[in-house]
A = this chain, B = another copy of it.
Amino acid sequence: MSSVWGEHIKISVFGESHGSCIGVVVDGLPAGIQLDLAKINQEMARRRPGQDIYTTQRKEADRVEIVSGFFNGCTTGAPLCGIIKNSDKRSVDYEDIKNIMRPGHADYTGFIRYKGFADYRGGGHFSGRLTAPVVFAGAIANQYLEQKRIIIGTHLLRIGQVQDAPVDPVNISAGELLNFRSMRFPVFSSETAEQMKEEINNARMDCDSVGGILETVILNLPAGLGSPMFKSVESRMAAFVFSIPAVKGIEFGSGFNLASMRGSEANDEFYIVKEGNEKIPCTRTNHSGGINGGITNGMPVLFRTCIKPTSTISKPQHTININTMEETEHVFKGRHDPCIAVRAVPVIDAASALVVMDLLLERGG
């Protein structure tokens, strides 16, 4: 049981890379959320493959058909199911190699876990293609959040050896985040974008792939979301984020750098901001990433996600045949992203939106 997530909303993801369709059931949506389908399609487009040389050449329209839970322009409160057709399948690519365990992929672990019965074509249910329904569900959550002025945005902090400027953890603005959402290579400077593209293209030319780091910010969360211990914001965000293929690390606020710090540096000191008659506690620094004791403190929530290089590469690799149990050399052909980190951006945004919506619904919405 793997593809069901959530407490106050639940999503159930289904489908395989080379099946007839993929999709998601979103259960627990409040009734009456007005959905702007154009905006949903926009989110889908951010993740859509086949758009340039930096992504896989598989062409998919990725149009979602909503078959339930949506009536007269609004959510009904009943489970909302969205279905996406798979159109550009080349399953024949995989028949030859079904017994070859591709390094870095889930071929071997999936074989053991599912006793050889899994659909091996294109990674089956393990495929990154399954993030499309997640982006769809996240796009719905995002419309709910926008009504509450909550803004989520992610940029490419690093691709291979190329580093973007980090966000300002205290003063990052909604405008900057929205800007990230509108870019295919969300970075602070266009120069960095060019360097990153070159980095990716170099990997591609080398029949290789490259990894990256994403930096995500969530603005305007109220203080008081989450709980200590097992329902901490970090626990819930991390649990979702690690469900996205290729993610191997997550850190909040100053993250691993905190190991080298002293408490006097790492502690975010409070001060009072006056807005009209209201006094709002804020912190001057934000090493904690907006979360203390598992609960939001009203500052920007900030985390970084590490994405490993795409496992599929066109270089020859040493591996095994699970049928003959012999070692073999193999070159994998097939379409793939030379750097999956780029298309992971809208997926992380979607994950964030779903986690935040779940947190809000826990407090009565």
Contact = CB atoms under 8 A, between A and B. Distances in A.
A12 interface: yes
Nearest to A109: B295
Contacts of A258: 211, 248-249, 306-309
A92 interface: no
Contact of A228 (B3, B71, B161, B213): B3
A255 B247 CA distance: 9
A205 to B, nearest CB: 12
Chain A facing B: main interface SS: mixed
Contacts of A124: 71, 76, 78
A344 to B, nearest CB: 12
A248 B99 CA distance: 40
Assembly of this chain: how many copies? 4
A189 interface: no
Contacts of A208: 262-264
Interface residues of A, number: 148
Nearest to A320: B270
A106 B248 CA distance: 28
Contacts of A158: 259-260
Contacts of A172: none
A309 B263 contact: yes
Contact of A266 (B72, B104, B325): B104
A287 B322 CA distance: 21
4 residue pairs, one from A and one from B, having the closest CB atoms: A106-B293, A364-B364, A249-B251, A2-B227
Given A10-B12, A77-B118, 9 more contacts: A5-B230, A12-B79, A68-B125, A69-B125, A106-B228, A112-B295, A113-B227, A232-B243, A267-B313
14 contacts: A13-B79, A16-B71, A31-B118, A101-B281, A106-B295, A203-B262, A242-B294, A251-B256, A258-B309, A262-B309, A264-B317, A266-B308, A269-B317, A288-B308
